[in-house]
Structure formats: structure tokens, C-alpha cells
Amino acid sequence: MTGPDIRSEPKAATAVPTSDRRTPPHILTLVAMAGIGSLAMNIFLPSLPDMAREFGVDYAVMQLSVSAYLLASGVLQLFIGPLSDSYGRRPVMLGAFMIFLAATVGTILAPTANWFLAFRIMQAVSSAGFVLSRAVVRDITPADRAAARIGYVTMGMAMVPMVGPIIGGVLHEAFGWRSNFMFLGALGLAVLCMAWVDMGETIHDKGLGLRAQIRRYPVLLSSVRFWGYCGAAATASGCYFAYLGGASFVGETVFHLTPAEVGYFFAIPALGYVVGNFSAGRWSSRYGMNMMILVGAIITFLAVAGALMADLLGVVSPLLFFGAIGFIGMGNGMLLPNALAGMMSVRPDLAGTASGIGGAMNIGGGAILAAITGMLLVPGAGARPLLWVMFISAIGSCLAILWVIRRDRRLGAQ
């Protein structure tokens, strides 16, 4: 696999001087760093029902390995971004991946569900890959091209976990669920080596000190545009995270699928996300961030509304359900790169902080929705509770971006 080298791109004002022996990372390194976090999120999902049975706990308890992981990721992103702005992208990334490897070993050796969940929460430090890959792009790419570049990075990132549940389902049936985490640990070690060799620093010196950052927070946190972009991203991605929390249950109890079959269907939304990311990379510069976010939000809403309507009419089909999720993935793929670029463009000198806060809202909101979904999905409930949660979240995404568009139009008319 080959890809464009970010080293050849024009560098923004925050780029590291050319005299530094370390150079900005290749795009494939950024994809790998972000992809390992996505893979950690979903590779073991087809195994959740069997893991619950082996540990002797309810599915809702085992589902905490998704919602608690997401919540921890959201909290950590609040600190990862500012720390990287202050001390640099490279040391924060390398330290995070070392912790991730130790936590992965813990999940493999965990004797009880409680120990597993504790190490699983530690694995959430892999969220550094999400935050810092985006911040690096913003460091070295002009603002008008950041959305397109982030779209290409996240498109590549989506291709990594696209096969994760498939591999996880196959590994589970052949060797048991712990083999998923052995595979994840091997890949994590490989990514750590890539980052060690290739990831140079992309901000001057050590960046802004924490006190200097805090003094600039009011400008960022008082921006309507910043919160509008954060809201659009959080509620749109909330649809997908709710799906992550409930799809395995729906696949087993409603559609009677095996873990491997659930894994195959998990590839559908990832394919949709790749298509959406390609569209974002191709058209964002031409049509603008706000328009691409709005189109992505509308696609997400229509897909969820269609799936919910089919369920209310009694039409139950895995192809229809997972096919609708594929369009949700496409909408997210168009929306998220532009929303992320939008929130980081409010204060480029606080790109890491903005990425961290936005990521925390995305992941934290997703954790809450995943937990709610886990509580609502009880035997006999079917897929309807999951679809209602996703439907409400999709409406929120449309309202958030319309709020930003209305605000921009008012300012333009003044």
C-alpha cells in the first residue's frame, strides 16, 4: 500500500524547522497510529456474547468493555491534546503506545471480568492515535486543505478496522477470544516501531506551555463555531458508537448470526465510511466544510430513519439493517473530517487542544449512547431501541450544523 507523503506538502507556520533531523511522518504512519485505536475498539466485538458467558457475567457487564473504553478515551483526549501542544506530538504518542502494549498484555492474562475491564480501560490510551494524527495534519497542512487531508487519513484509518471484526470473528472461532488481543498486541508493537522511526516533531520547540494554553482557552471555548462543529461531530458519530454497543446483541438475538457472520457484516459501515472519506477528500475544498457536514448529517439521518421505519413495519432483515448502517458510515465519513478541521481552525495554535476536546465529546458522547443502548437491549427487545437511540442522535447532528450555518450567514450579512 502506498500513499502520499506529507513531507511533500507545504508546511504551515507551526511546522518544525527544516534543520531538525526529524521530519514529519509519512501519511501511512498517521493512518497506522489512528487505525490501531479503531482496531482496539472493534476487533473483539463478535466475541462479546461468548466472553460474557466465559466470565459468568451478563452481556450488559461485558458490554462495558465498549462503553467504559469509549468513556476513558474521551477523558484521556482532554489531556492528550493539551499535553501534545505543550511537550510535543512525538513523546506523547510514544508514551501512549507503550502503555497500550502493557494494557493489552493485561487483557490477555485477565482472570476475571473485573480485571479484564480494568486493563481494557487502560487500552483507551490508544486514543492518542486519533488526537495526534489529526493535530499533526493541522500542524503541517494549510487550513484550506486540512479537511481534505484529514479525510484521506481517516479513510485509510477506516480501512484498517474494516476487516477487524472479520478477523476477530475468525480468530475467536479458531483459537478463542484471547487470540484477538494477541493479534492486537502484535500490531500495536509494530505501530510503536513505526512511530519511533518515522514520527518527527511537528511543532516548534515544545509548543505553548500549559499556562499559556489556559490563557487562550476562553477564545476557543467561547466560540459558537467550535461548539457547533463539536456538536455535529459528536452526535453523528454517536450513531455509530451506539451501533457498536448493540450490533453484536442484535446480530445474535435478532438475526441469529454466528460471531464470524457478525464480523462480516461489521465491514459494511466501514466500507461506507471509506466512501464518505473519499468524498470529503475530493470535494471539501470545492464545496466548503459546512456544506459537506450538512450533506453528511442528512445522509446519516435518512439512513437511520429508513431502518427505523422498516423495523416499525415489521421488516426484519440483516441486509437491510446493516445496509442502512453502511449509509450511516458514509455520512459520518463525509461529516467528521470537515467537522474536525472546523473545530481546529478556530485557533490553529491550539489544534491539539481543540482536537482533544472535540475527540472527547465524540468518544464521551458515544460511551454514554453505547451504555444506554446496552441497558435497553434486553431479550425480546429486538433492534428497535438501538434504532431509536441512533435516530435521536442523527437529528442532533443536523441541528448542530444548521446552527453553525445560520450563525455564519448572520455574520456575513453584517
pTM of the model: 0.67
Residue 108: other Cβ atoms inside 10 A: 16
Q: Residue 68: its pLDDT value, please?
A: 83
pLDDT, position 309? 93
**Distance, CA of 250 to CA of 289 (rounded, Å):** 35
Q: For residue 203, how many C-alpha atoms fall within 13 Å in the half-sphere facing its CB?
A: 27
Residue range 342-356, pLDDT digits in tens:
887 777 767 667 777
The mean pLDDT value for 365-394 works out to 79
- Asked whether residue 399 carries a pLDDT value surpassing 70, the answer given is yes
The per-residue pLDDT for range 62-120, each reduced to its tens digit, is 878 877 887 788 788 778 877 887 778 888 999 999 999 999 999 999 999 999 999 99
Q: What is the CATH number of domain 24-413?
A: 1.20.1250.20
Tell me the per-residue pLDDT of 121-148, one tens digit each, with 9 for 90 and over: 999 898 888 788 877 887 777 655 666 6
pLDDT band at residue 186 under the 50/70/90 scheme: very high
One-letter-per-residue 3-state SS of the chain: CCCCCHHHCCCCCCCCCCCCCCCCCCHHHHHHHHHHHHHHHHCCHHHHHHHHHHHCCCHHHHCHHHHHHHHHHHHHHHHHHHHHHHHCHHHHHHHHHHHHHHHHHHHHHCCCHHHHHHHHHHHHHHHHHHHHHHHHHHHHCCHHHHHHHHHHHHHHHHHHHHCHHHHHHHHHHHHCCHHHHHHHHHHHHHHHHHHHHHCCCCCCCCCCCHHHHHHHHHHHHCCHHHHHHHHHHHHHHHHHHHHHHHHHHHHHHCCCCCHHHHHHHCHHHHHHHHHHHHHHHHHHHHHCHHHHHHHHHHHHHHHHHHHHHHHHCCCCCHHHHHHHHHHHHHHHHHHHHHHHHHHHHCCHHHHHHHHHHHHHHHHHHHHHHHHHHHHHCCCCCCCHHHHHHHHHHHHHHHHHHHHHHHHHHHHHHC
Would you say 318 and 51 are in contact if contact means Cβ atoms under 8 Å apart? no
Residues contacting residue 62 through CB under 8 Å, at least 6 positions apart: 48, 49, 51, 52, 55, 113
Q: How many CA atoms lie within 13 A of 11 on its CB side?
A: 16
Question: 2 pLDDT band (50/70/90 cuts)?
Answer: very low
**With bands split at pLDDT 50, 70 and 90, how would you rate the model's confidence at 173?**
confident
